[in-house]
Amino acid sequence: MSAGVDSQTARRKGPVRTCVGCRERADRASLLRVVAVDGVLVVDPGRRLPGRGASVHPDPVCVDLADKRRAFVRALRLAGPLDVTPVRQHVQEQGNHPSDGKQVEKP
């Protein structure tokens, strides 16, 4: 018998973040970091831009959910609407949708 913690979180290696769209926890490497620059969301693939960041799965469903729920505004602690277009374009250009086929609950 094991006396240790047997959870999915305990087995992950590296930092864990929560997707602002689907609210699922995932390794930082599997999420896309975005920051706000002059009221526009900017993708930060190198994770080097200054300021507060928000994490989202590189999946159009998660980006749409985050926009609909105003999760980017809350996560970045900003007032007013943000232009999510650059994030949507980046996700479409990359074409890697790791959560395709997964059921995402709508709030």
By residue range, what is the domain housing residue 40?
15-94
Residue found by looking up tokens 């277009």 in the block: 85
Terminal CA-to-CA distance of the chain, rounded, Å?
A: 40
39 Cβ neighbours under 8 A, 6+ residues apart: 80, 82, 83
Residue 75 lies inside a defined structural domain of this protein: yes
What pLDDT score does 101 carry? Answer: 46
- Residue 86 φ/ψ, nearest 5 degrees: -60, -35
- What would the mean pLDDT of 31-44 be, rounded to a whole number? 93
Residue 88 lies inside a defined structural domain of this protein: yes
> What CATH number has the domain bearing residue 85?
3.30.1230.10
Residue 9 lies inside a defined structural domain of this protein: no
Q: Specify the number of domains making up the chain.
A: 1
Bridge partners of 83?
40
Element (H, E) at 92: helix 85-94
The encoded tokens of residue 1 equal 């018998």
Residue 56 lies inside a defined structural domain of this protein: yes
- The yes-or-no verdict on residue 106 having pLDDT over 80 is no
What pLDDT score does 107 carry? Answer: 44
Give this prediction's pTM: 0.77
